[in-house]
Structure 1
Amino acid sequence: MSDHKPPAPASVPLGGSISRAQDHALLHRLIRTLDTAHPAPDRLAASLLARFGSAGMALSAHVGGLDEVAGREALVPPLLAVAREAALRLYRSRVRRTDVLAGRKGLEAYLQACMGHEVIEQFRVLFLDGDFHLLADDLMGTGTVNHSPVYPREIMRRALHLGAQKLVLAHNHPAGRPEPSGADIEMTMRIAQIGRLMGVVVHDHIIVGNGRSHSFRAMGLIA
């Protein structure tokens, strides 16, 4: 009979702030669960926190970034990627039944998880009905480290097909600075202008990068 005992459950609060110790406990438990033969789960958990800042950011990190910490031969990075995808799918199923914008922090956290640590730019569009319920979350373009192609007509064609009345645009800045560029602002205004002609409102544009985010609406760039 083996003397191995399963790790004790990590206590994580449902509300309020999460301490670094609690983040470490969660990562430690995940590593021990995903790779029972890992020789140093405690050290790896500490390394992930040192690199990414929190358990949430580590779980949303690109596999390449996880490989740099854990090693390319480790089992943990691809298994964490599977766990991340499962969590994203659960989140999408939840937001489809609720007001997407009711909890802005949750929306920004979701976008961080989707693309905050991607190494190339991605452009997503959340298509919403009149009550801000999610109809679709589509990746509309991928590009280089500092540019992703955006085609306003394709966005509007998709919006009309879905019967969407509102849009939330989103993209990432792989360099980690989420402040909008002049090109970001110009492109957003162009999409909004075309949308007005077609009865589709651009409600916001959110840029994410390295744990930070900027909302065009919060900045007063979109009324």
Structure 2
Amino acid sequence: MTPIVFVTGGNRGIGLEIVRGYAKAGCKVLMGCRDEDAGEEVKQDIVGADIQVIEMDLSSEQAVVDNITRASAVFGRIDVLVNNAGVMDDANWKDLDLAKLKRSMQVHLNGPLALCQQVLPGMIDRGYGRIVNVSSGYGSFAEGMEGPLAYAVSKAALNAMTLKLANDVADHSNVKINAMCPGWVHTRMGGRDAPRSPEKGAETAIWLGQLEDDGPSGKFFRDKKEINW
């Protein structure tokens, strides 16, 4: 049975390379993006792949629920969810607009949680599922929470959600929920000075979505190696 993978923020940067990677592995990929036309345009470059564009704006939880419900109704199931969509607000604590903090929390925590709430029951019922949360070392307590406040705090919250959900579904051993850090990647968000390619940044997310039955859950990874929260 061909795995069905849903990737948020899939039309550019790391997300697009995650889409490419799963498509290359023979999966059917649902490319979630805010602008359907933008998704349709970039998918033309991935020749021979089974990719469907799903308009998905994470700024509204109701929109998230409505769109993922429609996608599930059309495609029947989602085997792998990759919560990749992200925003970067680099204001320091003195200058941070609280509305920007709310946006970061919405995109990095509330939206992914709403998606997990929609897809996890089906994964549990079928006895198979993989959820990959694209996080950051900027949100790691072990690495000093060095990122801008809105980004670091919201990614730390995503990490906390990852571990909590993994613990809550631990009895369902073939449902794996993990977080990963792609590193500093040369994208519109990462900037021109970033040393890593989007392809390299995507590798761990692609690997985590295809873990074997005895693979880990409730862990944090970089370059396919476990790191500390």
Q: TM-score, normalised by structure 1?
A: 0.31
Instruction: Select the structure with the greater relative contact order (CA < 8 A; seq sep ≥ 6).
Output: 2
Q: Structure 2 length normalisation: TM-score?
A: 0.30
